[in-house]
Amino acid sequence: MSTSDLSQSSMSQSNIAMIGLGVMGKSLALNLLDQGFNVTGFDISEAHRERAESEAKELAQKVDKGSFFKAADLNQVLDSLVKPRVIALSVPAGSIVEAVIDDLLAAGLEQDDIVIDTGNSLWTDTEARELQYRGKLRFFSTAVSGGEVGARTGPALMASGDKEAWNYVQPMWEAISAKVDENGLPVGQFEKGEPCAAYLGPAGAGHYVKMVHNGIEYADMQLICEVYHFMSDVLAMSAQEIGEVFAKWNQGVLNSYLMEISADILQTLDPTTQKPFVEVVLDKAGQKGTGLWTAVNSLQEGAPAPTIAQAVFARAQSSQKAVRVQGAKVLRTHVQPNCGKAKQETIEELHDALYCAKLSVYAQGFDLMKATSIKEGWDLDFAHIAKIWRAGCIIRAVFLQDITKAYQSDAELSNLLFANRFVEEVHERSCGWRAVVANSALTGVPMPAISSALGYFDSLRCEVLPANLLQAQRDYFGSHTYSRVDSDEQNKFHITWSETPRVEVEA
């Protein structure tokens, strides 16, 4: 089904309904109107319905825009739609999703109708809902990244669920998604390009990929903050000066949305005090839980993502403001200045450390997705995932084009860091990375994320880890057995530690 087929349906009927007209739902609805689709909108809040209708009327004054119908209840929602009905939910994650779907079924939703969850649902909840409503409707999910602006002008869309449902959803999602040119660079909302929307697999796959995206986002933000902290505390750079450096970095290999906004924030003044805005913001970071989900999942799957976990811990420790104020007064230690290095040399080292640490984070995220894809039988396409992250989403960055090419060259890549391009990049920049981690320890400026990213890299390149001693310890106190380097790994042994003489027995 083509975009034109959908957008040329009867003016009395809508192509899609949006239930939930808050920030994200309204923005997605207006984006659909921009692309010529007819949209029905419903929200339990009359104020939300009125605001969406008002903004839709403004769009209606422009040519080639879709029409908006404000539904008063779910019966009107169903009556307004072409069949099979396509209904997108933009409601809070959790039990409210089931509540809305149950109300839709009571209002007359049919077996062939498609319900799309676009919220931040936990992927296992999405899997459960697909089973719960199988045979009653076609449950579909689409994780949306890009925030309010992305939803309005072009988000990254990670879809999963009923494959037949994708045939109806695909033209709309590709039309409203962000797009990139042949070089992988973002283009304008109404320009032609490759859509950042894709069907990723069975139920749960899209929300899972979005969860890992958010985990990477947590880590990426923390890495940037640690560099800012070092520049401010050790190099005594002003917020304005740091912002200027970040803006310069954003013109090169570190080009990304998060670097762009960080540079902007640091160069912004507080309207009230005229001080640097960042200096009047309380240093307590909030979180909604998706980074935590990713960290927990990495532990469950045995796929290490230490930098994502450290980013979650950093937010938690930031919230302990009173304890940190006390610690600043009572905890003493010996610290050194910046080892007599020239300021510019240290700035260049920080640049390289940030690049390498970011790459390590992406490697952790993709490795986690690979582990879960194998376990769930999803067969995720990592080149495709990297592609749809190139624009629209919060972690969009220029080097996602390189990640795309790496997986296109070798879809079975054991680890992203093993790609030839990145092997050389990290080799060239690793001296700066190590210098920064060493400097952070010597100067007493915490860099838990950058340090853990280096630890992940070094563990990955270490053929023999001290886990031999660890496993021997486990055998000593718990008879957990061990494998031998000179025997098949499947063969298990135990030492009779409490006996004299000690002997080895096969378990």
In this predicted structure, what is the pLDDT of residue 288?
80
The string over 26-48, giving b where at least 16 C-beta atoms fall within 10 Å of a residue's C-beta and e elsewhere, is bbbbbbbbbbbbbbbbbbeeeeb
Residues 6+ apart with CB under 8 A from 424: none
Rg (CA), the chain: 26
Give the up-direction half-sphere exposure of residue 415: CA atoms within 13 A in the CB hemisphere: 16
Checking DSSP bridges between strand 156-161 and strand 197-201, what pairing results, if any?
A: parallel
Residues in the chain: 507
In this predicted structure, what is the pLDDT of residue 63?
64
Amino acid at 47: A
In this predicted structure, what is the pLDDT of residue 3?
43
CA-nearest of 204, 237, 229, 133 to 375 is: 204
Please, are residues 204 and 160 in contact by the beta-carbon 8 Å criterion? yes
Catalytic positions: 210, 217
Residues 6+ apart with CB under 8 A from 331: none
Q: How far is CA 228 from CA 185, 225, 241, 245, 334, in A?
A: 27, 5, 10, 10, 22
In this predicted structure, what is the pLDDT of residue 290?
85
The CATH class, in words, for 3-203 is: alpha beta
Can you list the alpha helix ranges (DSSP code H) found in 69-133? 74-79, 95-107, 123-132
pLDDT digits 0-9 by tens, 110-124: 999 999 999 999 999
Considering the domain delimited by 210-457, tell me its CATH architecture.
Orthogonal Bundle (1.10)
> Tokens 């449950």 correspond to what residue?
139
| Cis peptide bond N-terminal to 501, omega within 30 | yes
Parse the chain into domains and list their residue ranges: 3-203, 210-457, 467-506
> Tokens 């054991």 correspond to what residue?
414
> Tokens 């997108």 correspond to what residue?
88
Segments of the chain scoring below 50 in pLDDT: 1-11
The CATH class, in words, for 467-506 is: mainly alpha
Three-point CA angle 463, 469, 471, nearest 5°: 95
End-to-end CA distance of the chain: 61
pLDDT digits 0-9 by tens, 264-286: 999 999 999 999 999 999 999 98
CA 265 to chain CA centroid, nearest Å: 21
| CA distance linking residue 160 with residue 166, whole number of Å | 8
